[in-house]
Amino acid sequence: MPIETANAASETEMLPKVRLDLVRKYNVPGPRYTSYPTAVQFSEATPREGLLDDARADFAHGEDLSVYVHIPFCETLCWYCACNTITTKDHNRAVAYLDALEREIALWVPFFKNRPRIGQLHFGGGTPTFLRPQEIERLGAMIRAVFDFAPDAEVSVEIDPRRLTAAHVEAFRRAGANRVSLGVQDFDAGAQHAINRVQTLEMTADALRWVREMGYGSVNFDLIYGLPGQTEESFQRTLDAVEALAPDRMAVFSYAHVPWMRPAQKIFERTGTLPSPELKLRLLKLVIERLTAAGYAYVGLDHFARPDNELAAAWRAGRLQRNFQGYSTKAGLSILGLGVTSISQTAGAFRQNEKTVDAYSQRVAAGEIPVSRGVLLSDEDKRRREIIMRIMCDRELDFAALGGRFGVDFSQRYAPELARLAPLVDDGLVLMDAGHLRVPPDGWLFLRNIAMAFDAYFVPAEGRHSRTV
């Protein structure tokens, strides 16, 4: 029987049922698919010239760009953190870092035929608000010296409400920022002490007041479930506080326990404070039920948005994009990553900058683009990237349309991959007929598992990826 075609508008109104038995069954290590191929495939052996030629060809088209700027510094380390950060209280390190960033921006200029234009800009970290207000102003001026901005450019910044002042918020606003993401994680004092991140409700409320007063548009809160010390009761109280503050969007991430990559997380094993897998699943269920009941649309995986927010609108219109910052609203923009560890994405390649500030600064001082590794995409990689991004963003595959684009009979060419989905079909998490695959709301938690079926490089193994749910 043919499956019903998707109706995104009505599906955002539907609530996924969280069946804990299925979550247990499919909660295996797997990539987050913020890219395909994933970062595991990036290699220092990839010919550097090939990586730069692909950028040159892509940027020469003159299309709007998505630019990512990485500020790596944090004053203290949050023990759960899996980001690329440098812990220091020496704010003067930012001055030399901005010098290096300015050099890197200048090195990219010859890659553009005309003055490049930004459609989307994201300041991430680390902690972008580690920069002092005058340094934020300088960063903004450095970018404006080279790039124009599209009239509807989305410019977002990650804000840590601890140690924040109104002057930081104002400086980023003057640098063009019009959206913010506030790191919250959890309001419970016990959980905050357990993760070495003490952030009072007042700090978050002040940050929110400042960004609202200064005319920022969409405000996102980042929360994490599965942190040490969390209980259902404590997380209920956190969600009460979050709902009262009413952010426009929320990313509620599953705590990723990857101590082989982030040794600070071993502290949680020593203190024995991590929630049991069972409790973690109950927290997830709580999050989805509470936020959808509060009127947030469940946009996918770990993202929630008010129905009138641009993220929910982009999902309804089929314009959702997935990149290294998670879900975003502007599909199809090439990404230029600036700064240490930043990743760029163009039509045929991913490339990543040097991973230490020393190596990064030395490369740019020597007049070299600081790319250290990457991957060049084969035609088959590009096809699989398209399939995986459609699953992650649209939750639907139209076999005839994809087959037409790829010049293959989709069902035949990808028969082994489709067959791998049989257990998910049997469990009602994937609907499939001869011409379509569709993920109904109950399957939205399992998008990573569904995408894994099409990942030609995926090797099931502990110790490489976080768990999918």
Binding site for ligand SF4 (CB under 6 A): 74, 77-78, 81, 83, 85, 125-127, 160, 183
The region that residue 180 occupies, defined by phi over 0 for left and psi between -120 and 50 for alpha, beta otherwise, is beta
- For ligand SF4, give the closer residue by CB, 73 or 327: 73
Three-state SS for 326? Answer: strand
Residues in the chain, total: 469
| Residues pairing with 84 in the sheet | none
CB of 238 to ligand SF4, least distance (A): 16
- For ligand SF4, give the closer residue by CB, 78 or 139: 78
CB of 85 to ligand SF4, least distance (A): 5
CB of 160 to ligand SF4, least distance (A): 5
CB of 320 to ligand SF4, least distance (A): 25
CB of 78 to ligand SF4, least distance (A): 3
- For ligand SF4, give the closer residue by CB, 73 or 410: 73
- For ligand SF4, give the closer residue by CB, 86 or 349: 86
- For ligand SF4, give the closer residue by CB, 153 or 223: 223
Q: Which of 449, 367, 458, 416 is CA-nearest to residue 22?
A: 449
Token pair recorded at residue 447: 């998008």
- For ligand SF4, give the closer residue by CB, 177 or 391: 177
- For ligand SF4, give the closer residue by CB, 120 or 185: 185
**Cβ contacts of 110 within 8 Å, gap of 6 or more:** none
CB of 462 to ligand SF4, least distance (A): 24
CB of 274 to ligand SF4, least distance (A): 17
CB of 158 to ligand SF4, least distance (A): 8
Question: Would you say 375 and 384 are in contact if contact means Cβ atoms under 8 Å apart?
Answer: no
Distance CA 135, CA 421 (A): 51
CB of 353 to ligand SF4, least distance (A): 17
Query: Hunting for tokens 């998707």 — which residue is that?
Result: 6
What is the per-residue DSSP string for 437-467?
Answer: EE--GGGGGGHHHHHHTT-TT----TTTS-B
**Cβ contacts of 111 within 8 Å, gap of 6 or more:** 55, 56, 59, 60
Token pair recorded at residue 428: 């009602």
Q: Which of 393, 422, 289 is CA-nearest to residue 17?
A: 289
Angle at 20 between CA 14 and CA 24, to 5 degrees: 125
- For ligand SF4, give the closer residue by CB, 57 or 83: 83
Question: Would you say 70 and 340 are in contact if contact means Cβ atoms under 8 Å apart?
Answer: yes
Q: Which own/partner pairs from 77-80 qualify as long-range (CB within 8 Å, at least 24 positions apart)?
A: 77/196, 77/264, 78/185, 78/195, 78/196, 78/197, 79/195, 79/196, 79/197, 79/264, 79/265, 79/267, 79/268, 80/185, 80/195, 80/197, 80/224, 80/227, 80/228, 80/255, 80/264, 80/265, 80/268
CB of 182 to ligand SF4, least distance (A): 11
- For ligand SF4, give the closer residue by CB, 6 or 219: 219
Q: Which helix (H) or strand (E) holds 194?
A: helix 189-194
CB of 97 to ligand SF4, least distance (A): 15
DSSP 8-state code for residue 43 = B
CB of 39 to ligand SF4, least distance (A): 17
**Cβ contacts of 78 within 8 Å, gap of 6 or more:** 185, 195, 196, 197
- For ligand SF4, give the closer residue by CB, 84 or 411: 84
